[in-house]
Structure 1
């Protein structure tokens, strides 16, 4: 009789941690009151806390934040303005949803900094069934396609794209693992990304050191994945629910989670401690300290995950379940337990990706996971549905493409290329770069 592979037991502290993070969410208003002083800019005439709707953005020049610049919003019988914070972030609270003219007061820009040629100012912003809207003002002298300046910018965008691609891969790998082992396309994965950043913000607001708040937030993400599978997905699987109804359930769960987070967190954009880190110069490349740290952390975690998948019993069991759940079960593998661990690990990785994404943007908002969900799907589709290393390769390609495209495209359009790639891949190679044809259809 064949013995079952021994899998590492899940921590018994999960139940206690669920209670802990539930208490933290319920005490969110208190946490916000204790938030770090750098969490949001100080508006001059329009406080985001005074109104239920916000317009926000981040002002950067060649990757560096531009503080002290006045932004004004007018419309719907309202006028208000704010000043960008040390991290370049700004938020204006407005009384009603509608259409506003958002203007950057150019006279307040630092010497030597100007709007990019052709940049629209003021910009028209219209709310679309959400309580916050964004406005981007590109700065700089434009792109020089010849000379060392273009080469330096290209190298900087490559490094930034690699960092963005790796943090995107952290979240996309969890999405790919869940799809590979269960067949579920989980549209609520973006909210798992948001949860990590929001939990860290609340924990830092309670006075915890940033590193400890980050660790506890990542654990909280793992708890959320465990609870989701135990309380929702496993019962649905046991009842024989089809994949399409389960996908629809995931869409409903995403909406419920997103607006529950908004209820406690608010519609504004807040900053994590240390978001306005210094710039580091490495030869011709200037990179933010937080971006470099994000790159290193992502690379280490992904390397560790690859080792676990290739060299450990749990990893081999996970790959077996992803290839053929029925055969894996017949071989003595506890499929339900593997899936539960996959959901937990997926939650851990999504939470870590959310924290790094909040530093990269920079800022935490209730819908930040939704903003990168399609990019995660693009990375998973490009690399190959259900393949972990495909998700890694696809996400890195998407991240690099997104950042390099800003050399020629408006920042507002930088995600278009990645989504175009996803469409092309689905048309001509639906199995992706590392996928297999039998995975499709």
Structure 2
């Protein structure tokens, strides 16, 4: 009789020592899958309504609404007041000659942009009969722009489309934002069946998928290392991702630290939370011989507690770790923001460092030994408790780094960031192989590609559901994952 338990290295059936976690359940992956599927509704739960953002919204993970007031020569008209309303909120904005004025909307929906004609220059009035308001459709990942032509010779904007935003003229026609700033690395939202796919769009989404996969891998590797050494599936790991972004935001904007100081401080604090959790919660539970299933329930309670704590720290709105508009960088036919390319490079270096640490260092090899068989590792002089403590610190540190890079790359974050990524992390580690760090990397890259490429053929709101489909198929077809191994029991 065989079952699937993906643990790196050879398998041994020696019992755990007294102070270690009891023998890992034979069907632990099935329990993990059950809890992951149960958590799926939480992963897709709508976050709390966000307050409108500042006047230079970046549409990476939010819906933006912009106002353009242009003359006949496409010059922006400054100091014109407008009101953006809809979906239960209303905000007043003032146009600028230097940049497109945009705000973060609470979510997808219809929004009405109304100009105040009294604030228009005397020689730049609306044409006779032209409406002073326009309705636009806000969508996550794009900027809906309401364009108004004023002055002598003003006409409706030309009918051109840009891949990352939607512009509506005062007459209600869809048009491209001529003369407007372009957002970076985005694809059009809406009904995927109405779009004509091109090779360029697919290649662009491949780049976005690699970005998402690398950032997801930073968090997933820590989740898998914890499972490999303790047998515990940590449902609070998503909140460690959010905590990294939240602490970085507070360090920069509340504590007044420079970016190059704030980020290392954030990582140290995130690592300290891992040390504290193991010292205060997980090691005492291991000493008591607490079964893994009960420990999983503790992680769910810890996850809920951390969610409320993070909301108390940063509130319910979307925030930016680093302010400023993204600078587009074109590389190998892919257009992403400069911060995205830098984040991808940092993630790749860190993942390579983890691989070197696991395979070339004494502590890394000890970690693999403990993951394979704690009792045998203890017999060779390795202290499993020390290794597990190191793993917890590493896992929370890299989860915090992942949260920082995700917030910077995608422009903003909110309290539910980790909750939304949790199911994707479980899908990634299940696909790659539970308990294997390299499996988490492979699974995360594949999940990132599938999530971004699926945006080309299904509505954007359903793209994360593709990860759940993959999770189910993997459990049915190859439960041990891509790099997992079968183990004989009984």
Q: TM-score, normalised by structure 1?
A: 0.74
1:72 pairs, out of 67, 85, 91, with 85
* Residue equivalent to 1:188: 236
2:385 & 2:335 partners in 1: Cα distance?
47
* Residue equivalent to 1:48: none
What SS does the corresponding residue of 1:109 show, helix, strand or coil? strand
* Residue equivalent to 1:144: 196
8 Å contact kept, 2:65–2:105: no
Residues 357 and 215 of structure 1: CA distance in aligned 2, closer, same or farther (over 3 Å): same
What SS does the corresponding residue of 1:426 show, helix, strand or coil? helix
8 Å contact kept, 1:168–1:395: yes
What SS does the corresponding residue of 2:50 show, helix, strand or coil? strand
What SS does the corresponding residue of 1:103 show, helix, strand or coil? strand
8 Å contact kept, 1:86–1:276: no
In structure 2, the gaps of 5 or more residues are 1-47, 69-82, 113-134, 137-143, 148-156, 173-186
Q: What's the CA shift for 1:155?
A: 1.4
Return the index of the structure with the highest Cα Rg.
2
2:275 & 2:100 partners in 1: Cα distance?
38
8 Å contact kept, 1:322–1:386: yes
1:214 & 1:267 partners in 2: Cα distance?
22
2:101 & 2:476 partners in 1: Cα distance?
41
2:230 & 2:401 partners in 1: Cα distance?
22
1:247 & 1:336 partners in 2: Cα distance?
19
1:103 pairs, out of 97, 100, 111, with 111
1:88 & 1:288 partners in 2: Cα distance?
18
1:63 & 1:244 partners in 2: Cα distance?
36
Q: What's the CA shift for 1:260?
A: 1.1
Residues 302 and 64 of structure 1: CA distance in aligned 2, closer, same or farther (over 3 Å): farther
Residues 87 and 267 of structure 1: CA distance in aligned 2, closer, same or farther (over 3 Å): farther
1:73-124 deviation per Cα after TM superposition (whole angstroms, max 9, x unaligned): 245xxx524669979761459xxxxxx96536338435645649xxxx9xxx
Q: What's the CA shift for 1:179?
A: 0.3
Residues 62 and 231 of structure 1: CA distance in aligned 2, closer, same or farther (over 3 Å): closer
Q: CA RMSD in A?
A: 3.4
Moved more, 361-370 or 373-382: 361-370
1:358-393 deviation per Cα after TM superposition (whole angstroms, max 9, x unaligned): 123321211111110000000000000001100000
- Length, aligned pairs only: 360
1:90 pairs, out of 104, 128, 134, with 104
8 Å contact kept, 1:222–1:344: yes
2:462 pairs, out of 408, 413, 419, with 413
Residues 394 and 225 of structure 1: CA distance in aligned 2, closer, same or farther (over 3 Å): same
2:266 pairs, out of 217, 220, 224, with 217
Does 1:54 pair with 2:54?
no
Q: How does 1:291-330 map to 2 (within 5 A)?
A: 291-330=340-379
Residues 241 and 61 of structure 1: CA distance in aligned 2, closer, same or farther (over 3 Å): closer
Residues 87 and 289 of structure 1: CA distance in aligned 2, closer, same or farther (over 3 Å): farther
8 Å contact kept, 1:59–1:137: no
Judging by fraction of residues, say which structure has more helix.
1
Residues 363 and 245 of structure 1: CA distance in aligned 2, closer, same or farther (over 3 Å): same
2:381 pairs, out of 324, 332, 342, with 332
Q: What's the CA shift for 1:290?
A: 1.4
1:101 & 1:277 partners in 2: Cα distance?
25
What SS does the corresponding residue of 2:306 show, helix, strand or coil? helix
2:471 pairs, out of 400, 403, 422, with 422
1:24-53 deviation per Cα after TM superposition (whole angstroms, max 9, x unaligned): xxxxxxxxxxxxxxxxxxxxxxxxxxxx95
1:399 & 1:87 partners in 2: Cα distance?
32
2:318 & 2:90 partners in 1: Cα distance?
17
In structure 1, the gaps of 5 or more residues are 1-51, 94-99, 122-135
8 Å contact kept, 1:60–1:88: no
2:214 pairs, out of 166, 182, 186, with 166
1:305-325 deviation per Cα after TM superposition (whole angstroms, max 9, x unaligned): 100000000010000000111
Q: How does 1:228-239 map to 2 (within 5 A)?
A: 228-239=277-288
* Residue equivalent to 2:250: 202
2:244 & 2:100 partners in 1: Cα distance?
24
8 Å contact kept, 1:168–1:353: yes
Residues 428 and 422 of structure 1: CA distance in aligned 2, closer, same or farther (over 3 Å): same
